[in-house]
Structure 1
Amino acid sequence: MRTTIRAALLCAGLVSMPALAAPAVLWEKVWSYDHAAGNAAGQKAEIPAYDPLNDTLWVAGVSGVDVLNARTGALIRHIDLSALGDVNSVAIRNGVAAVAIAAPDHTQPGVVQLFNSNTFAAAERIQVGALPDMVTFTPDGSRLLVANEGERAVMTDPSSTDPAGSVSVIDMSSRTVVATAGFAGVAGSDSVRLFPGKAAAVDLEPEYIAVSPDGSKAYVSLQEANAVGILDLATNTFTEVKSLGTKDYSLPGQGIDPSDKDGSVAVRTVPVKGMYMPDTIATYVAGGQTYLVTANEGDTRDEDVRIKDKSVRLDPSIFPDAAELKKDENLGRLTISPFDGLNASGEHEALYSYGSRSFSIRDANGDLVFDSGDDFERLLGERFPDIFDDGRSDNKGPEPEGLALMDVGGRMLAFIGFERTLEKLATAVIAIYDITDPLQSSFLDFIVSPGDLAPEGLVAFSRDGGYFLAVSSEGSDTTSLFRINLVPEPGGVALVLTALGLLGVIRRKR
C-alpha cells in the first residue's frame, strides 16, 4: 500500500519522496494456555520458541517442554525432562529443537538435548558447561551457542563452589562441542564490575546470547558484571568484554521512583546511578549497521543493601543532606550495591542501584545510542495510577526482562516485557517501541494482558502475512499469543485517502 500511495502522489506532481507518518500499533490476544492445567508436575512457563515448519510453540519450563499448536494454543505434547535436571531454554532451527538443561547440582556440567521437532523423537544429548541458561542458533543454523551461566553454589557465599562461566559452541553437522569460550585473559574482562576477590574467568556469568545478522559475532550479556562479551564466531573466542557504564538518575528525563513508601509512583531525579545489567539481548540492522537492544533488568547475588542501613555511610562532602536522603520516603528504601562507589574510607561517594529501569540500543561496539530514559515508570504511573505496583520502586522498578524484535510492514518493533507491573490485578504488561531508526526510537503502546503475570520469555514471528508475539509468563505459568498490526496515524490516513482520490482522478482522465 505504501508504494501505491507514494506513486499516486508522485504522478500528481505534488510531492518528491516524503515519508509516511509514524505508525500506530494495534494488538489483540488470540489465545492463552495455562501450563498448570496440563497436569505436568513442576511445569512452568519461561522461554518460548517458534517452529515455522510445524507451526508450533515449544515452551521451556523447569520440568520439561510443552509443545503447543501455534494457531489454537492447544497442547500437543508435554516432554518430561525432569530426570535430567532443570529445563531453562529452548531454540528451534531447521527441524531441530535444542533444549538447555541444568544438572541437578547446578555447579556441574549441564546438557543440551536435541529433538526432531516434527516427530518429537530425542536425538543427541550434548554435555556443555555449568548451568546452561540460554541456547540459540546462528542465523544459518550451522552452529548452536549455549550460555553457561556458571553461578556459584551459594549466592551469599563467595567461597562456595563457583564454576567458570562460558559459551559452548556446538557444530550442528557433527553435533559436538567444537569450542568452549571462556573469559581468562580477554581484553577488558578484569576492568568490568566483578565481585570483590573474584577473578573474571570465574566471576563472569553469561546470561543471554544474540548473534549478529551476518553470523560473524555473538553478543553475550554478562548481567551481574554490567557488561557485554563480544564473541568472534570465526575463531570461537571472546575478543573483548565491554563495560556498559552507568545511567545518571540526576539528569532530566532519566529519573526514577526510588521509594515504595512515598504514597505513589513519583518519578523524579535523584543523586543515584543505575547499572544497566541487561538480561535479554537482541540484534538488528539499520542503515547497514548492526545494533544491540537490551532489556536492562538488573540483578544481584543477594548482596544488596538499603541506603538507610547503618552499614551505608555517605561521604558528607558529597551528600551533606545524608540524614534527609536516608528517610524512607526519599532514598532510604532504595537498594544499592554495598561495594560499588566506595572511597578509601569505606564511605559511599556514589550510589549504584541495580538495573536502569529502561531498554537501550547500542552500536556494535557497545556504545550507547538510545535509552528509553524514565519512560517505563512514568508512562505506567500515568496510565495506571491506581494499580501500577509501587511496591517495587525501592528495588528495580518494573524490571524490564524479556525482549523480542520483529519487522512489521517495514518497521522494526521492539517488545519489552516487565516482570513487575500490575501484580495487584494479575496482569502482564509489554511495551512496544518503534526502533526503525535507532536514534529516533519512540514508544507506541502497552500490551495489557489480564490473566498473565511476570512475562519471562518473548518470541515474535510472522505467518501467512500476519505478525504475532508469543509471551510466556512465569508468574502465572501461562503462554499467550498476540496478533500485531500497524496502522497509519491520522495524518497518514488522510494521506491514504488523498492518494486514492488522486489515483481515481488520474484514471478518469486517462
Structure 2
Amino acid sequence: MKKYALPLLAAICLLSSCSNQNSSEEGTIEETINENPSSFKEIGSIIIGSEGAAEISAYDEVSKKLFTVNNSSSNKIDVIDLSDPSNPKLIASIDLTTFNGASNSVATYNGKLAVALEATPSKQDLGKVVVFDTSNYAVLKVITVGSLPDMITFSPDGKFIMTANEGEPNSDYSIDPEGTISIIEVAKDYAVTTLNFSSFSNQLTSLKINGFKISSPTNDFAKDIEPEYITISADSKTAWVTLQENNGVAKVDLAAKKITAIFPLGFKDFNLAENAIDISDKDGGVLFNPWKVKGMFMPDAISNFEVNKTTYFVTANEGDAREYDNYIDISRIGSSSVILDPLKFPNASVLKEDAKMGRLNIVNKMGDTDGDGDIDELVSFGGRSFSIWNGNTGQIVFDSKNELDRKAQEFGTYDDKRSDDKGAEPESVVVAKMGAKTILFVGLERSDNCMVYDVSNPNAPKHLQTLKTGDAPEGLLFIPASKSPTKRSLVVVSSEGDGTIKIYQPDLN
C-alpha cells in the first residue's frame, strides 16, 4: 500500500543531529511506503577497520554514498557505495592528514560533505570545518571554528552548518578553551559566527540549584561549558545543544545567532523502584535494586521532533566524567577518599562493600551539602535512560527509567561489567517519521544494541524492537524511504569498537 503526501520536511527532517542526515528541497512530492517500524532486519554490513573506525556516518542521496569517520589507522573519511545496501562497498578514502586535524564528525547536504576537525597536535587550538564535493571530493571551503569541534550538522534547509565545539582542557588544565557553538552561513561564502556562554555566568547560582554542573580548577563559567551534540528543528530556526559534562541543554536562535537559554536537567532518583539499577559489577549477577543515589542525566546525543505543534527534544543520558592529570571528578564510593556522612549513611561501612555500593562511580566534586567535608548526597554519572523534554521550557516529559538496561538484559546483551559505571550506556538517539508514526532509535554503546521506540505519544513511548549491532555503536543514521536507494527506510549503525557498519531495513505492513 502506498500513499502520497506533501511532507513539509516532516518525514525527512525530524532526525537527530547525531544522524548527520538532512533533507534537500521542501515541498516536493514524496512517496511514503507503509512500513512496519517493529520489523527492522539487518540486510548488509561492512568492516572498514579495527577499533576506532566507523564512528559517525552521513549519507549523501545525490551520490548514494556513505561517508564515515575512520581514525583507526590514519585520519581519513571512508567512502562507501550504498547504491545496493545489501552489498556496501568501500570505494575511496578522503585523506585528511593535510589539514592538520583529526576528524570527529561528518554531515551531508545536497552534494556537500562537511567534516569537523579538531586541531593537532594541540586540540585546544581552534578547529576547522572542511567542506567537500561528494562527487569528486574536491575541497569547497575551509572554515575556522571553535576549539575541538566534536559534532557537525547541516540545518534541514541546508542554509546553516553548525558545530558543537567542546573546548576540552589540556592534561594539566593549564589551557582550557571556551566551549562554543559555531554557526556557518553557507550562502554567505560560509561566513562563521562563534558563540560562547559568558553571558550566562550571572545565572550560575540558579542553574546550580536546578542541577547544572560547573566544576573545574578555575571555575571559569565560559571555559567550563563543553558543548557535545546538536539537533536543529525542522523549520531550521531553533537548535538545541547538549552540554554533557554540565548536565544541561542550550537553546539557540539560528536567525539571531544567539544562545537564548540554558536548561539545567536536574537529577534522577535511583532510590525509586521504577529506576532500580544494577549498581555493582561484583555482586554476582544482574540485580536491579533501588539505591540511595541520584544520577545526573549528562546527555550525549540529542534529537528533536514535533507532535501536535509542540516541539520536543530527546536525549541519550550517557554521563561523562572529567579525568585529567591535575583534575579528576570521579571516584568509587568504596574508595578511602569518599567519606560518607554518618547521619545520612549510618551503615556506611556496609554500603562501601564491592557487592553493595562500593563499586559505583560518583561525582566527587558534589554532594557535600553542608560543607563539612563529607558527602551527604551521592551523585552518579548518567541517567541510564533516554528522556523526552519540552523544547520550549526544558521540562522533562518522559524518562525511560530502567527499561534500557532491563531490555538489554532480556535480549541477552547486558554487560554486567559496566554495572558500576553507566549500565548499557545510551550513546545515540535519532527520531524520524515513518508514515504516521514518530519513531525513536536509541544506540546503547555497552550492550551493543539499537532499540526502537514509538514516541508518537511523547508521554508514553512504546518499545518496539531491540537490534543487535556491532561492538560499541557510536553513530546512528536514519535514511528515509524517499532518500533511500531501496526506496525503503534504512537505519545505519556505525560501531567504533570493531569498525563495523550495519544496515537495517523494515518489512512492509
TM range (shorter): 0.7 to 0.9
Match of 2:148 in 1: 131
Displacement after TM superposition at 1:395 (Å) = 0.6
Match of 1:97 in 2: 113
Letter in 2 for 1:484: P
Matches within 5 A, 1:127-276: 127-154=144-171, 157=172, 159-186=173-200, 188=203, 191=207, 192-196=212-216, 197-276=218-297
Whether 1:430 aligns to 2:430 is no
Whether 1:106 aligns to 2:123 is yes
- The 1:217/1:27 distance shift into structure 2, 3 A limit, reads same
* Partner SS for 1:269: coil
Whether 1:390 aligns to 2:411 is no
Q: Aligned partners of 1:99, 1:152: CA distance in 2, in Å?
A: 22
Matches within 5 A, 1:233-382: 233-302=254-323, 303-342=329-368, 343-364=370-391, 365-382=393-410
Q: Aligned partners of 1:361, 1:201: CA distance in 2, in Å?
A: 27
Match of 1:47 in 2: 56
Whether the 8 Å CA contact 1:165–1:203 is kept in 2: the answer is yes
Query: Which of 477, 482, 487 is equivalent to 1:459?
Result: 477
* Partner SS for 1:110: strand
Whether 1:26 aligns to 2:60 is no
Match of 1:471 in 2: 493
Q: Aligned partners of 1:176, 1:53: CA distance in 2, in Å?
A: 21
Which deviates more, 458-467 or 364-373? 458-467
Displacement after TM superposition at 1:252 (Å) = 2.0
Displacement after TM superposition at 1:61 (Å) = 2.4
Whether the 8 Å CA contact 2:304–2:311 is kept in 1: the answer is yes
Q: Aligned partners of 2:36, 2:111: CA distance in 1, in Å?
A: 35
Match of 1:8 in 2: none
TM-score, normalised by the number of residues in structure 2: 0.86
Displacement after TM superposition at 1:189 (Å) = 5.3
Q: Aligned partners of 2:170, 2:446: CA distance in 1, in Å?
A: 27
Letter in 1 for 2:434: V
Which deviates more, 461-470 or 91-100? 461-470
Matches within 5 A, 1:416-427: 416-421=442-447
Q: Aligned partners of 2:507, 2:315: CA distance in 1, in Å?
A: 23
Whether the 8 Å CA contact 1:409–1:486 is kept in 2: the answer is no
Displacement after TM superposition at 1:383 (Å) = 3.0
Displacement after TM superposition at 1:479 (Å) = 1.1
Q: Aligned partners of 1:290, 1:121: CA distance in 2, in Å?
A: 37
Of structures 1 and 2, the larger Rg is shown by 1
- The 1:165/1:189 distance shift into structure 2, 3 A limit, reads farther
Structure 2 gap ranges (5+)? 4-34, 324-328
Q: Aligned partners of 1:214, 1:347: CA distance in 2, in Å?
A: 49
Q: Aligned partners of 2:378, 2:316: CA distance in 1, in Å?
A: 22
Identity percentage of aligned residues: 38
Higher normalized contact order (CA 8 Å, seq sep 6+, divided by chain length):
2
Which deviates more, 75-84 or 324-333? 75-84
TM-score, normalised by the number of residues in structure 1: 0.85
Q: Number of matched residues? A: 452
- The 1:277/1:455 distance shift into structure 2, 3 A limit, reads same
Whether 1:67 aligns to 2:79 is yes
Superposed CA RMSD: 1.8
* Partner SS for 1:173: helix
Q: Aligned partners of 1:486, 1:341: CA distance in 2, in Å?
A: 52
* Partner SS for 2:40: strand
* Partner SS for 2:272: coil
Letter in 1 for 2:38: V
Letter in 1 for 2:476: L
* Partner SS for 1:439: coil
Displacement after TM superposition at 1:166 (Å) = 0.4
Displacement after TM superposition at 1:392 (Å) = 0.5
Structure 1 gap ranges (5+)? 4-21, 422-427, 488-510
